[in-house]
A and B are shown apart, each in its own frame.
Chain A
């Protein structure tokens, strides 16, 4: 008698006060709580051990009846080693066959005054957990089942589990251990049971006195459901990140001459790329998940996307709309250039002006706007219609000049990227561009859709024009510092103004913040044509001739399309989101164009 704790040392190393550290099979679902933490809490007497429950209990029962009422254990396969040991012992401890009687008695005695758990309707020793808030009993088996609802991408909140009894938030329990100790944490002195066997203590188990106060969720006595599932926050963060990634996707806009043209969609993470990462991604297209994804999009035929899920199709359509917009822009550019050329030829005959100067002049109609990129972004554009009308005219507004002046840093980074020598006409541009930005540009251009790609490679081919361009006035991007569009139209986020955004922005051009509209899709492709505007501008005269006409019509219709036509794409949300790292100036109106174009295309 009484050798349960001493002689059963080996076994009791895995028990606490005659209960187990692991569940006894009341529930069969996944054990998604942190079992080591639960075990620790049990050993620390902050959580009741997992006792084998009694199917029923009567005060008048003797020990044998109690032990007989103990719940059969589940098949050993689903239990771990500790449970298995007990499973093989019916009412006896297998570890000590010669002296089974005594430990059994102790095992039975703990059940004196057993209480029913109101959730599983099984009986447990009276030293059971109680809810911190309303002091209701709950067994450990049931407690570990209670958890937060898993967050999903459509429901991104994770409320703490509520008390099943009183529905108070932050469910937690308090455990009052018995005055004696046995097994783990008894420090070898757990003799209370051994010496005065069946004395007052077993027969008079500690009765639970209804306490007056409830415990706060952060009381040291309390074990909350979050404590045994410390990963809940990580899970929530993961879902949040996934959603944010989708929502942060942007259209990459290229500024060419007086226009902003959409050339691609970022993965939503592009703004977080460091130059090193970008270089790595460019150098080793197979290296990372990200680059694989980009590669999947690169140069793939349209039909390949058509079979994809709706969200991918949506992105594809957007991309197509951008392509059309680009073509239209090229057409516009071409006409303009032709006009300019005629004028120049007439006005400045005999000056020996090169094609470059011609092109440059076409881009810079006013003395105050020397670069090819002055007109599209309108710092204070109060409405999309205003913006569009001014954008479609080639007259720079005085405000543009102002905003340009205020953006010295942006200009700087832009000139840097412009200062590279245009590559020779390569089949694969990436092979010829050693610098990281150039690499990024290369793979981005490859990632663009096939038509855009051909356009861009044509742009690369047109080196003479581009070179001339580069030699011309230092680039001045009219990035507008006006932080917020005042009208509820989606905003363009212009990268490159702030230093941390420079690596990406300087090569990718402007990004339009339409992410939310695309939030439903996965980020399939990224990047568009991070070629410099000079290249692109020159490309217009190369390529636009054959494709311009049909597209121009649709583009024109865009201008008259009210923003509300694209309202289903959740514009409002765009304004709410701040984009800390690649942000910047927001200009109303333009994204509408892209999106309306997308709709136009979709309805065709």
Chain B
């Protein structure tokens, strides 16, 4: 029997295919229920004009009770957006991916949130502790205990 994770993801996928992704977000790859890839682009006026970034979701069997592991792809020439909450290894410091994750959120909801996080950015810069973090960061961003200190960006 399929786990809750694949069951729900199947429904989310069906919905994406039926209704399409929101503007600026497109599904690149969803071959299984463990990893999905999207591209994300900020529409309209922003510091990220004409930039397309690749967002990767990884799901464990407890999704949606447990949050997906979400990060920007930084391989194959792809780059993470320069943003105070995005580390150069693609990890994202966003509370909804950590302690504020709710099972009511969905993959698309996360995409839209991150899109608006980029859109509202005022200054393109890496997090202050980028080098230190990237040096020691675990492969899976979910293993990092982020300290969410700034709600404004």
Chain A interfacial positions (CB closer than 8 Å to B) = 25-29, 72-75, 118-122, 142, 145-146, 149, 162, 164-165, 167
A145–B104 CB distance below 8 A: no
**Chain A, residue nearest B99 (CB):** A149
Rounded to whole Å, the gap between the CB of B7 and the closest CB of chain A is 7
A28–B104 CB distance below 8 A: no
Extra 19 A-B pairs, beta carbons < 8 Å, given A121-B11, A146-B103: A26-B7, A27-B4, A27-B62, A28-B3, A29-B62, A74-B1, A119-B64, A119-B65, A119-B103, A120-B4, A121-B12, A142-B65, A145-B65, A145-B103, A149-B99, A162-B102, A164-B104, A165-B104, A167-B100
Number of chain B residues whose Cβ lies closer than 8 Å to a Cβ of chain A:
16
**A28: chain B residues within 8 A (beta carbon):** 3-4, 61
- Whether A25 touches B104, Cβ cut-off 8 Å, given contacts A119-B64, A121-B8, A149-B99, is no
**A73: chain B residues within 8 A (beta carbon):** 1
- Whether A164 touches B102, Cβ cut-off 8 Å, given contacts A29-B61, A29-B62, A119-B64, is yes
A selection of 25 A-B contacts at a CB cut-off of 8 Å is A26-B7, A27-B62, A27-B65, A28-B3, A28-B61, A72-B1, A73-B1, A119-B65, A120-B4, A120-B7, A120-B8, A120-B64, A121-B7, A121-B11, A122-B7, A142-B65, A142-B103, A145-B65, A146-B65, A149-B99, A162-B102, A164-B102, A164-B103, A164-B104, A167-B100
**B64: chain A residues within 8 A (beta carbon):** 119-120
Chain B interfacial positions (CB closer than 8 Å to A) = 1, 3-4, 7-8, 11-12, 61-62, 64-65, 99-100, 102-104
**Chain A, residue nearest B3 (CB):** A28
**Chain B, residue nearest A26 (CB):** B4
**A25: chain B residues within 8 A (beta carbon):** 1
A167–B61 CB distance below 8 A: no
Q: How many cross-chain pairs have Cβ atoms below 8 Å apart between A and B?
A: 46
Rounded to whole Å, the gap between the CB of B146 and the closest CB of chain A is 13
**Chain A, residue nearest B101 (CB):** A164
**A164: chain B residues within 8 A (beta carbon):** 102-104
Interface centre among B8, B62, B65 (most CB of A within 10 A): B65
Rounded to whole Å, the gap between the CB of A173 and the closest CB of chain B is 14
**B12: chain A residues within 8 A (beta carbon):** 121
CA distance A110 to B69 in the complex (A): 38
**A29: chain B residues within 8 A (beta carbon):** 61-62, 65
**Chain B, residue nearest A116 (CB):** B11
**A75: chain B residues within 8 A (beta carbon):** 1
CA distance A118 to B103 in the complex (A): 8
User: Across chains A and B, which 7 residue pairs bring their CB atoms closest together, nearest first?
Assistant: A164-B102, A121-B11, A119-B103, A145-B65, A164-B104, A74-B1, A121-B8
